[in-house]
Structure 1
């Protein structure tokens, strides 16, 4: 199913966190928190300004983002758990180099 967010909303898939800590401790599923990192799957056209002009969004499809723990609305599309949130809920975009350092 194709989904196109409206206005300044974005569709995000959570990126799963590591199963182990840096020290090698395995984290059980019951102790895991929901990841606050995700990949943008779709973006809306942007919010309208006071003069009615559309302000394009800073995030784009494929960006890895950080968002607040309670940000967005959880939905299920084609059996996949996704989030819809406003661009203002996004704290920042993870650049490719930073993402590699986090993964290492």
Structure 2
């Protein structure tokens, strides 16, 4: 987790940890892989925001702890300490 604290997004970028849905229920029923198509994640870190032409700071719309949907092929995938981040 200490390695995650060192990753600080710049400008208006967001670091998201992908949420992997469980493959089995609490009672032991196996779920098919097709149900796990939803790409969602939890925001780990947020950059300070971007600046407009006048130099005013435009804050990022997300905050740490928010749950977001991820595009299937969007973002840059990073693997850090067995966690999949985008």
User: What range is the shorter-chain TM-score in?
Assistant: 0.7 to 0.9
The TM-score with structure 1 as length reference comes to 0.63
Q: Which has the higher contact order (CA 8 A, sep 6+)?
A: 2
Choose the corresponding residue for 2:14, options 3, 6, 10: 10
Note the aligned Cα RMSD (angstroms). Answer: 2.2
Higher strand share: 1
Choose the corresponding residue for 1:72, options 49, 63, 75: 75
The TM-score with structure 2 as length reference comes to 0.74
Q: Which runs of 5+ in 1 are unaligned?
A: 84-104
Q: Which runs of 5+ in 2 are unaligned?
A: none
**Matched residues, number:** 78
Residue 73 of structure 1 deviates from its aligned partner by 0.5
